[in-house]
Amino acid sequence: MAGVTPSPGGSVTVVAPPKVNLRLLVGPRGDDGYHPLVTLMVALEGPADRVTVSRATARAVRCPGIPGPANLAWAALDALQAEVARPLPTLAVDIEKGLPAQAGVGGGSSDAAATLVAADRLLGLGLGHERLERAAAAVGSDVPFFIRGGAQWARGRGEVLEPTTAPAFECVIVVPGQGLSTTEVYRAFDTLPHPPPDDHVPVPAHARGLATWCRNDLWPAARSLQPTLADLHEALTAAGAAPALLCGSGSAICAIAPDAVSADAIAVAAPAMSPGCRVLRARFPGV
Ligand code: C5P
pLDDT of amino acid 258: 87
Distance (Å, whole) CA 154 – CA 211: 21
Contacts of 234 (CB under 8 A, 6+ apart): none
**Mean pLDDT, range 248-275, rounded to an integer:** 97
Least Cα distance to 40 among 148, 161, 135, 143 occurs for: 161
- Domain topology for 4-163: Ribosomal Protein S5; domain 2 (3.30.230)
Residues carrying an active site annotation: 19, 142
Q: How far is CA 229 from CA 34, 176, 273, in A?
A: 25, 8, 10
What would the pLDDT profile of 10-53 be if each residue is shown by its tens digit? 999 999 999 999 999 999 999 999 999 999 999 999 999 999 99
Domain range 169-284, CATH class: alpha beta
pLDDT of amino acid 5: 78
Gyration radius from the chain CA atoms: 19
Under 8 Å between Cβ of 126 and 90: no
Predicted TM-score (pTM) above 0.75: yes
pLDDT of amino acid 8: 60
Q: Which residues form the pocket of ligand 1, taking CB atoms under 6 Å from any ligand atom?
A: 34-35, 37, 140-142, 157-158, 182-183, 186
What would the pLDDT profile of 84-131 be if each residue is shown by its tens digit? 999 999 999 999 999 999 999 999 999 999 999 999 999 999 999 999
Looking from the CA of residue 156, the nearest atom of ligand 1 is 21
What would the pLDDT profile of 68-96 be if each residue is shown by its tens digit? 999 999 999 999 999 999 999 999 999 99
Domain map of the chain by residue range? 4-163, 169-284
Q: How far apart are the first and last CA of the chain?
A: 15
What would the pLDDT profile of 206-215 be if each residue is shown by its tens digit? 999 999 999 9
- What is the band of 4 on the pLDDT scale with cuts at 50, 70, 90? confident
Tell me, in angstroms, the distance from the centre of ligand 1 to residue 273's CA: 30
